[in-house]
Structure formats: structure tokens, C-alpha cells
Amino acid sequence: MKILFASANKNKAEEIQKLLPASIEMLTLKDIQLTEDIPETSPTIEGNAIQKANYITEHFQLDCFADDTGLEVTALNNAPGVLSARYAGDQRNDLDNMKLVLDGLASSSDRSARFKTVIALNLNGEQHLFEGIVNGEIRTEMTGTNGFGYDPIFEPEGCGKTFAQMSMDEKNRYSHRARALEKMMVFLGKKTLTAD
């Protein structure tokens, strides 16, 4: 089975590729020569995932899946949320984004947060949504050098270390994206079984 992942984010693509079974060949935007950014103008995480998947389906008539992810920090009224990638501005700088979150929590004792991923799968003319959530807390400082985005300041519940202190394989055992993708894999497995 071939399916396109509708994202230009190489880090996300690498994480997802490691989780997919050999029976699924993941295509990227590079494979279809799409170089411009897919619009992400929805006010919700779900909406952005849907918007990206629909863009590919409408313009290229391909089965695809797209994800959108947000960090929701309780004491910041669930910000940065849908604005996670550009929280500190359109330059989309991970360091600036993390500093803004840490500054916002400087006087807060509540450091609880969660990562939320929604995957929109467009397959055979139908759309299906899969959600993955991981709860945790925001560290007081950046720790670790792996991963991307907010990984150096987010510690998943019960782990004792940040995503940035984990190998990709270890992160994939806990991550929001892996949880959403696992639900999609279960769905695709059932679809395959019912098609036989």
C-alpha cells in the first residue's frame, strides 16, 4: 500500500516512517514535487490536519494522511495550542517558542501540559480522524538534544526525562504522534481484513 504523508516537516516524517509497517510505503511531498507550503489557517488542531489532507486530495487526487500537533499548557490557558509552531512569531523558531513558554510559566506552580496530535486520513473518498494525547509537565529549563519542537522542555508523565533526552525509538513508545498513528494502523489493518 502506498500513501502520502502531507507534511514538509522532515522530523515528523522520520518519526512516522519508523513506526509504519513494511507493508505501507510512505510517500512525501518531495515525491510529488510539491514545494509550496500547504495552508494551515484553521483555528483548531483538528481543522489544520483536515485542511492539509484535503488540500492533497483536492489538488493531487491522492490517498493521504496529515497530522497537526499542539502543546497545550494548562497555566497558559492551553496555549500555545494550534499556534505551537509559530508561538513566538512566523519565523517558527523552536528556541524562541520554548523561551516564551518558560517565561509564561516563570511564576506558576502549575506546570501541567499535554501534547495532542490529530491525524486526518483521506482514503478511498472517506475521511477518518485519529487522536493521540500524552500528558506531562513543562520543565523549568531545556534538557536534552534529541527531537524537535518543544521536546527539550516537555517531560511525559512517569518518565523522569524529556522527549529530547530519549532516542527516537524510546520517544515513539510514549509520544502523542505514535498514539494517533497506532490508531490509524489498527484502522487500516481492519480495512485490509474486511477488503479480503
Provide the whole-model pTM. 0.92
Structural domain count of the chain: 1
Q: Of 63, 67, 68, 151, which residue is the catalytic one?
A: 68
The CATH number given to whatever domain includes residue 175 is 3.90.950.10
Range of the domain at 99: 2-195
pLDDT-derived band of residue 36, with 50, 70 and 90 as boundaries? confident
Q: Is 68 an annotated catalytic residue?
A: yes
DSSP string, the chain: -EEEE----HHHHHHHHHHS-TT-EEE-GGGGT--SPPP---SSHHHHHHHHHHHHHHHH---EEEEEEEEEEGGGTTEEETTGGGTT-TT--HHHHHHHHHHHTTT-S--EEEEEEEEEEEETTEEEEEEEEEEEEE-SS---SSSSTTGGGEEETTTSS-GGGS-HHHHHHH-HHHHHHHHHHHHHHHHHHHH-
Digit-coded pLDDT (tens) for 41-99: 999 999 999 999 999 999 999 999 999 999 999 999 999 999 999 999 998 999 999 99
**pLDDT on residue 196:** 38
